[in-house]
Structure 1
Amino acid sequence: MTYTETDIVTTVEQLTGASLSALPRTQWEDIDQFHAGGSEAIERLIPHLALTAGATALDVGSGLGGPARQIARATGCNVVGVDITTAYVEAAQALSDAAGLAERTRFFRSDIGALGHTGFDAAYTVHVQMNIEDKKVFYSEIARRLRPGARLAIFEVCRGADGELALPLPWSLDGTDSHLVTADELRDTVQSSGFTLLDWADESTWARQWFDDLGRRLAAGTAPATLPALLTDGPARMLNFAVATATGAVTLHRGAFTVTA
């Protein structure tokens, strides 16, 4: 099991020397975005979700809830997040409570297949499907929970050039739960799961620059409390991810889809 972290809120407060309610939002963004690109990546997804105030989006694999809070603030929508890791769900809700977003961002421990809610106006996945072996079932379950015409946006890691990936990685400590496919395979699988393609973009070059910028901030000591500090083997996992992105062993792709009529 890759996601074994516990007492995340306590760790955040120890790293920052402040309670959650006292943390500035800029500091949260180094902690609660469990993916390459941080909040900038979510900014690139938001326009494709076509959300308005009062709509409800589904965050599948919601992690620590950073994207949910960012999207709720930016669009005025509500977000329901689901994740299978109890500690992440608890931390996500605690962070939303501290941010004053408890009513608009709610998090539940659930597999997408067990979620009873339907009729969502949009959904998104951010660095989630790498752990999913049967991706067609996964995205089909998401499609079933969306209203007709709803949008799906994804920002996902794909297999690039042939070659061994150094472990551990953010989504896998030992490789046994890593199920990477190529970008073309992922795009085609989503389309075959009940979606029509609207947009598909390779964000690998941009992600490489983001990793470079993060490395400089860490080296300069200007980002003392960051996500790697919260994770088991966090620094090694992020470094291996950065190297894999730089060498093309993995690619990062952003996609937008709509539910097929």
Structure 2
Amino acid sequence: MEAEQQVARHYGRSGIEQAFLDALRAAGKDIDHLQPGDLSGADEFHLGGPAATAALAADLGLGPETHLLDIGCGIGGPARHLAAALDCRVTGIDLTAEFVEAAEALTRRCGLAVSFRQGSALAMPFPDGAFDAATLIHVGMNIADKAALFAEVRRVLKPGARFGVYDIMRVAEGDLPYPMPWAATPETSFVEPPETYRRLLGQAGFTIEAEHDRSDLALRLGREARERAAARGPSPLGPHLLMGPTAPQRVANVMATLERGLIAPVEIIVRAD
């Protein structure tokens, strides 16, 4: 429980919605008539951003009949993306109350019907077999007990449902620099190799269907973002809105570690037995 409180404090800060609204105005957006894409660049808090979300959705086979659970939904970026692009029904859950409040407010401004709940991924407030699919996008790095996490995900999924994990995973030995986007210190950072995910997912009652390393995508998009910033100046919409003034150091650390080949953003698609 103490670890979860530390994680919530790491992410939580007041005024998230207002910070986004100010940035959207500065970017020339009409905050009273927002589209999910207007928030792109800041509300999908993971390597690869919307492109990685779209790839995950395609691999999961999401569609209009899907009731999707987005575990660790943050401020709702992937949930809005998938609800708008695929017309699927989305429920998001996140540990951080300030994220859930911002997710609800920004989603209303986009005119989308997405449900958000505050709660722990280790004890979710949903009945057994409630969902057709689930996603976990850059969340597992903050959860030490992944066996309990995957068992809880299996509980809330229907038999045959697909679960898409997209986490930063360790792929080589070496010290990770901190702060990182997901943790200021190693005390709340639980980066594991893909083989640990495979083993624990299997023990929880999932069968692995596919696995993809998205490093090339993340590196290419990161390089393009740096080139745009150099040519045009920094965008009002960026990771600083969620990470604050330490954003440049956090982003630099994760990208440098990715380039060194110590970590990789890895997608694993599994099916509930």
TM-score band by shorter chain is over 0.9
Indicate if the aligned counterparts of 2:147 and 2:204 stay in contact, CA closer than 8 A.
yes
What's 2:186 paired with?
A: 175
1:23 CA drift (Å): 4.5
Describe the superposition over 1:197-245 as per-residue Cα deviations: whole angstroms up to 9, x where unpaired.
1101111122111211122222232633212333132221111111111
Indicate if the aligned counterparts of 1:36 and 1:207 stay in contact, CA closer than 8 A.
yes
Which residue identity does 1:237 align to in structure 2? R
What's 1:107 paired with?
A: 116
Normalised to the residue count of structure 1, the TM-score between the two structures is 0.93
1:38 CA drift (Å): 0.6
1:191 CA drift (Å): 2.1
The 5 Å alignment of 1:42-57 reads 42-57=53-68
Unaligned runs of 5+ in 2: 1-5
Indicate if the aligned counterparts of 1:218 and 1:224 stay in contact, CA closer than 8 A.
no
Indicate if the aligned counterparts of 2:132 and 2:162 stay in contact, CA closer than 8 A.
yes
Which residue identity does 1:238 align to in structure 2? V
The 5 Å alignment of 1:136-175 reads 136-175=147-186
What SS does structure 2 have at the residue aligned with 1:158? strand
Which segment is superposed worse, 141-150 or 109-118?
A: 109-118
What's 2:243 paired with?
A: 231
Indicate if the aligned counterparts of 1:58 and 1:81 stay in contact, CA closer than 8 A.
yes
Which residue identity does 1:65 align to in structure 2? G
Normalised to the residue count of structure 2, the TM-score between the two structures is 0.89
The yes-or-no answer on 1:15 pairing with 2:26 is no
**Aligned match of 1:65 in 69, 76, 82?**
76
The yes-or-no answer on 1:184 pairing with 2:195 is yes
What's 1:257 paired with?
A: 270
What's 1:245 paired with?
A: 258
What SS does structure 2 have at the residue aligned with 1:62? coil
What SS does structure 2 have at the residue aligned with 1:198? strand
> Counterparts of 2:191 and 2:18 in 1: how far apart (Å)?
33
Indicate if the aligned counterparts of 1:83 and 1:111 stay in contact, CA closer than 8 A.
yes
> How many aligned residue pairs are there?
258
What's 2:3 paired with?
A: none
1:25 CA drift (Å): 4.1
> Counterparts of 1:217 and 1:125 in 2: how far apart (Å)?
29
Indicate if the aligned counterparts of 1:92 and 1:107 stay in contact, CA closer than 8 A.
yes
Unaligned runs of 5+ in 1: none
What SS does structure 2 have at the residue aligned with 1:167? coil
Indicate if the aligned counterparts of 2:124 and 2:152 stay in contact, CA closer than 8 A.
no
Indicate if the aligned counterparts of 1:229 and 1:235 stay in contact, CA closer than 8 A.
no
Give identity over the alignment, percent.
31
> Counterparts of 1:53 and 1:114 in 2: how far apart (Å)?
24
Indicate if the aligned counterparts of 1:51 and 1:121 stay in contact, CA closer than 8 A.
no
What SS does structure 1 have at the residue aligned with 2:32? helix
What SS does structure 2 have at the residue aligned with 1:34? coil
Describe the superposition over 1:114-150 as per-residue Cα deviations: whole angstroms up to 9, x where unpaired.
3223420000100000011010110110010001110
